[in-house]
Structures are given as structure tokens and as C-alpha cells.
A and B are shown apart, each in its own frame.
Chain A
Amino acid sequence: MKIVQRSLKCLAIAILMFLPTSIFAFNAGEDGGQVSGKQEVEAYIVHHLKDSHDFNLFSYTDDSGERQHFGVALPVILWSSEGLVTFMSSEFHHDDNGHVIVEKDGLKFTKIHSKIYELEKGATAVSFDADHHATNASKVLDFSITKSVVGILLIGLLMLFWFSRLAKQYKKKQIPTGFGRILEPLVLYVRDEIARPNIGEKHYRKFTGYLLTVFFFIWILNLAGLTPLGFNVTGQLAVTACLAIFTLIIYTVSGNKDYWMHILWMPGVPIFVKPILAVIELVGAFIIKPFSLLVRLFANISAGHIVLMSLIAIMFTLKESLGVVGATSLSFVLSFFLLLIELLVAFLQAYIFTMLSALFIGMAVAEHDHEHEEHAHEISSDVEDVRGDFI
């Protein structure tokens, strides 16, 4: 009975934590109005998937018919044609269509679909071509503290806080207490189930720090993406690319002689096959592996967000055919179950990213102490099989 009670309690907490997403998610339309039509829902989802320059929690229309936004403005830091320019994102007044022009240091900036453009000299308004591309403005390098950056900072600080506290606990006692008791088995899990078996007993220590950081970073950010705060950090290509390139650099730098031999001059195959294999292996090592890492994480998390938001949008899109109560309850039931799946996916993607990183590093540092000529073919086929299973 106690278990049932407890699981009910957990379920209730989960509902309370995650379902308000539906309340916040659709309040602010792209043009600042309410979202109701299918087109608007679609546009809103696309907007959500992108990074945002302010941290908007919710918006509402007040009695006088004006949109009120509730959230935090974030600093915009740009590297423009004339150097560094900074201002607060509130100067855009929540416009995302290039209507509001911000003038700073004699330069004009505007925001179109979460990207900041610098207007050409003399232009006063953005003009668009048929495909809705700006014709008289160009993108600038944008180092702003965007919502994703805030997410990275927050989660990074949270991780530092949690795990440095856990580290401190070990100074006084052998077994951690409180929250550390939850963190310790996770750390052990990453070390014993991901790092150690994939990299090997001899080398795993060097890479465990990176793998642990990446695992918790991705997992916690995935989970943060399911909260009403609406982060979509691991669904940003730039972030997943950054993580994948870290893994690429690590296994390229720590690759041993055997690894490079297997890439550049595969032993145990006829000489005329070797250059072809070298090309394939080089493409595999430098493009396919990191690309599979970055796209898998990005696509899974984006897909999760799209489906979850679409299910929440049932509330609006099916309101006419099912009635308010019917559409709302259908939306709640479906999005609740999808949310449970997404909780699993959040862990799974963190696990797969870390696991594949460990596997790639393990391939690079593996030591073949047996004769190459006899077993080389076997090994390469094994490696291909393993890779085939995961890519």
C-alpha cells in the first residue's frame, strides 16, 4: 500500500510539474496575440524550437486589449560591422518579425525569427523578398545571453553545486546522505556501465570526467526542457554540435597508433582496397561519427518538443469538433502519456550520447596486442558491426 501511495504521490508531482507547460506554452503568439489557428500553432512551435533572446514565462492580454509579457529581458551582445554592440532584449519589445528597429551606436538592428540582422546603411525598414528573406539586412555574429545560454549557465551552476557538495561529503563520511545518495549511484552507473566497459580498464579514468559532465549536462537539460520554463537547449544544433565536436576532438587527440593504422592503412586487406577503406574510415571518423551524435540528440529532443506541443495544441485545434471539455481532456491524457515517454527519452538520449562517446573513445584507445595479420579482418568487421548497431 505504501508503494502505491508513494507512486501516486510521484505521479501527482509529475503532473503538477510538467502539465503547466500547456498553460504557458501557447499564451504568446508570434505576433504577440493569442494562438488559436493551426497555422499559428505551427508557427508557435517553430518559434519555440528556436533559441530566444528573452526569457518569457507567460503573456496575457489585459483589459485594454494590450499584450502583457511576464519574463526577464536578457542582454544582447553582437559583433557588428563596427565592433561590439550590447543592449537589452527588451528593446525589441517582443517583436520577432523585423518591425521594431533598434538603433545603437549609429547602427540599426532588427530581429526576424529569433535571428538578429544588421540593416544596411541608410535603410530605415526591412524589406523582404518573395521567400520572406530580408534583402537589405545581414545576419550578425550573435553572442547574446540567450535563453539557451541562461539554461546552460543555470544547469551548469546547479551541477557544480550538487556535485561539489557530494564531493565535500566524502571528506567527512564514507557514505553520502540526503540528495548525494541519489547522485552517487548515477555517478557509479556512468563510471561502471558506460565508461569502464567501453573504454577499457586501463584508460577509462582519464575520460570519465568528460563523460560524467556530458551525461548529467544532457540529462538535466533534457529534463529542464520538459518543465514549464520551456528550455530547448539540447534541441539547439549549436549546442549538440559543440558536444559532438568535443567528443570528436577527444577521440582524435587520444587515438593511438593502432587507431590511425586502422583508419589510414587498414592491415590485413589487399593493397588496392586500402586507399578506399582509408577514405571511408576518414569520413566515418570525422564526419559520420560526430554527425550521428549531434543529429541524434538534436532530432530526438526537437521531435519530442514538437509532438508534445502538438498534443497540447489539440486543446485549441480540436476545440470546435470535440468541445472545450473533450479537446482539453484528450489533450491532457495524450500529452501526459507522451510526457512519461519523454522523461524516458530524456534519460535515454543522455545515455546514448555518453555511451557512444565512450565507445568512440574506446575504439581510439583500444590496444590490439595480438598479431594484426591474422585477426585484422575479424577486428575491423567487429568494429563495423558495433558501429552499424548504433548509427
Chain B
Amino acid sequence: METLLNDFSPGLFVVSTILMLALIALMVKFAWKPILTSLNEREEGIQGALDAAEKAKREMANLQADNQKLLQEARLERETMLKEARELKSKMIADAEAQAQSQANKMISQAQEAIESEKKAAMAELKSHVAGLSLEIAEKVVRNELSNKDKQVKLIEDMLGEATLN
């Protein structure tokens, strides 16, 4: 301890204190302040750049998501449009079919009616024609039959016979 105290030099202590104070002051002013400021600025710059990149990435992702959404919407819209069109098409076809059907039915029934009336007319005409013909034939047959006496008798007899049977 005594040696240590003896070794301690007050003069050197004072001189080194003054020199250290000067050194600290000079170093802080000319070295540490500008260095630390620049380092901080650089770090902040890097941080800022990183943040900006992150932000840009996020925006890009948002944009992409938007695009995706738009695309999805467009696809859905197309889908619905196609569906509507398909429905419309089938509806139109069905309508047309129904209309055609009814038209056809109508035409058929008209035709049938026409046929029916034609048929009736034809039948009536045929009837009257046949009646005429029958009358003519009956007239001719009667005339022929009645030309012979025997035959007349025989006819009466036949007729009578039939009548008895009835």
C-alpha cells in the first residue's frame, strides 16, 4: 500500500486529467458526434427503406388481392350471365315449343273440324245420291217385276210370308 501510494504521481494525475478532458471533448466534438449521427441516420435510412419496401409489398399484395377479387367478381358475373342466357334460351325454346304445339293443335282441330264438316256434307250428299239411286233402282226393279203377273203374285206371297214370320 505504501509503495502504491508512493508510486502514485499527483503531477501525472493532474496532467492526465487535463489531457483526458481535452481528448474527451475533442473526440466528442470531432469524432463521436458526427460518427454517431451518421450511423443513426444510416440506420434510420435503412429502417425507412425496409419499412417502405414492406409497405410496397403489402400494397402490392393488396392490389393483387383486389385484382383477384375483381377477377372473381367478373367470373361470377359471367357465370350468372351465362346462366341467365341459358335459362332464357331454354325458356324461349319451351315457349316456342308450347306456342307451336298450341298452334299445331289449333290447326289440327280446325282441320279435323273441316274434315268433319266435309265428311258430313259428303255423307249427306252420298245419302241423297244413294236415295236417288235406290229410288231409280227400285223404280226399275218394280217396273220390271210388275211387268209379269206371276212375279207380282210371287212377290206378294214372299212379302206376306216374311211378314208372318215377323
Contacts and interface: CB of A to CB of B under 8 A. Distances in A.
A166 interface: yes
Contact of B30 (A49, A51, A160): A160
Interface string A129-158: 000000000000111111011001100100
B163 interface: no
B38 interface: yes
A141 B11 CA distance: 6
B102 to A, nearest CB: 88
A58 interface: no
Given A142-B11, A143-B11, A156-B23, A163 B35 contact: yes
A213 B26 CA distance: 10
B20 interface: yes
Contact of A213 (B27, B39, B42): B27
Nearest to B9: A238
A174 interface: yes
Interface residues of A, number: 46
A245 B8 CA distance: 14
A217 B26 CA distance: 13
Interface string B65-93: 00000000000000000000000000000
A164 B28 CA distance: 10
B42 A243 contact: no
B24 interface: yes
Contacts of A167: 30-31, 33-35, 38
Nearest to A166: B35
Interface string B1-40: 0001011111111111101101110111011111110110
Interface stretch (A202-210, A257-265, A359-367): A202-210
B27 A149 contact: no
Interface string A181-192: 000100110010
B16 A163 contact: no
Contact of A156 (B13, B19, B42, B45): B19
Contact of A241 (B13, B15, B23, B30): B13
A241 B17 CA distance: 9
Contacts of A217: 20, 23
A166 B31 contact: yes
Interface string B24-63: 1011101111111011001001000000000000000000
A276 interface: no
A79 B15 CA distance: 13
Given A166-B35, A174-B42, A210 B19 contact: no
B39 A159 contact: no
Interface in A272-307: none
Nearest to A241: B13
Interface string A50-79: 110000000000000000000000000001
A239 interface: yes
B49 to A, nearest CB: 11
Given A142-B11, A164-B31, A187 B39 contact: yes
A331 interface: no
6 contacts: A152-B20, A152-B23, A153-B19, A159-B31, A188-B39, A243-B20
